Amino acid sequence: MQRIAMIGFGAIGRAVIEAIREEPRLKLVQLIATPGKVSEVQAQLATLGLSEPPLVSESLILDGSCPVDCVVECAGHAAIQEHVLPALQEGLPCVLVSIGALSEPGLAEALEMAAGQGNTQLHLLSGAIGGIDALAAARIAGLEEVVYTGRKPPMGWLGSPAEETLDLAALTQAEVFFEGTARDAAQQFPKNANVAATLALAGIGLDRTRVRLIADPEVTENIHHYQARGAFGRMEVTMVGKPLASNPKTSALTVYSVVRALCNRVRSITV
């Protein structure tokens, strides 16, 4: 049995809770909401009809009164500093989807130190992208180049700096609106470039991974493509991910990446 604390009850968080409710060896015991939103989240949670709803609060309860075995972040960049760092210091293993947060200067080092202090581990999930196992293995032999292109329907970029250069609602053809490093992409597009950061952290780093971001009215999926070259040979991956109806920025596979990680914590054989 694993007692889970979840940070964030948005598109990913809600779908993960729905997916794991049939797994008796996973028990959601804490759910962390943004300040002022506890009652709203409790009311939304009630619609799921869970037999034993988790405790909802604004920060993790780490005093042992509601014990936790694993913390899962499904919230956004700000949640890492706020909740994940103290959880690691307390020795709780954490799994993350908001990988782009590690582009913030000093945060990766602070997380490493906190995990060391708590003698625990932080696991960066693969989220919406595949092939991270191969890329991370290829890095050991030496990588020369990793180039990533993220393509989403225009509405997937709403609320991002893409709106400063493009009229997203009126696009008639694909437009590249960002070309640069994975570090800059992750900082400028915190809800859209976590895949770029994941590839960078698995591969040749945030400053050497090249990124292009495209708004494309011809597509209905979130399409992630990358190619990598190095001593191991070459690889090329394309993911055509269905977006979540509840948040078109987010590919549904991200939910299953979290579910897989949690289920692997209670399985005897993991894959």
Ligand X SMILES: O=C([O-])CC(=O)C(=O)O
Question: Does residue number 241 form part of the binding site for ligand X (CB under 6 A)?
Answer: yes
Residue for token pair 């949670």: 45
Fill in the per-residue mask, 222 to 251: x = in contact with ligand NDP (CB under 6 A), - = not in contact: -------------------------x--x-
Residue 155 per-residue DSSP state: G
Q: Which does 230 bind (CB under 5 to 8 A by kind): ligand NDP, ligand X, none?
A: none
Choices 18-26, 58-66, 166-174, 245-253; region in contact with ligand X by CB under 6 A = 245-253
In the annotation, is 225 catalytic?
no
**CB of residue 207 to ligand NDP, shortest distance in Å:** 19
**Contact between 98 and ligand NDP per CB under 6 A:** yes
CA dihedral (269, 203, 85, 45) in degrees, to 10, reads: -60
**Interaction of residue 181 with ligand X, rule CB under 6 A:** no
Crossing angle (nearest 10°) for helices 11-20 and 253-264: 50
**Interface with ligand X in residues 128-167 (CB under 6 A):** 128
Q: Does 257 bind ligand X (CB under 6 A)?
A: no
Number of Cβ within a 10 Å radius of residue 69: 16
Nearest approach, Cβ of residue 42 and ligand NDP (Å): 13
Task: Confirm whether residue 128 is marked as ligand binding.
Answer: yes
Q: Is 75 annotated as a binding residue?
A: no
Angle between helices 132-141 and 194-202 (to 10 degrees): 40
Q: Tell me: does residue 12 bind ligand NDP (CB under 6 A).
A: yes
Instruction: List strand residue ranges (DSSP E) for the chain, in order.
Output: 2-7, 26-32, 55-57, 70-73, 94-96, 122-124, 143-152, 175-181, 210-215, 222-230, 233-241, 243-244, 247-251
Residue 247's binding partner, choosing from ligand X, ligand NDP, none, with beta-carbon cut-off 5 to 8 A by kind?
ligand NDP
Please identify which residue in 8, 203, 249, 261 interacts with ligand X, judged by CB under 6 A: 249
Nearest to 80 by CA among 66, 238, 89, 133: 89
The residue ranges that bind ligand X (CB under 6 A) are 128, 191-195, 222, 241, 249-251, 254
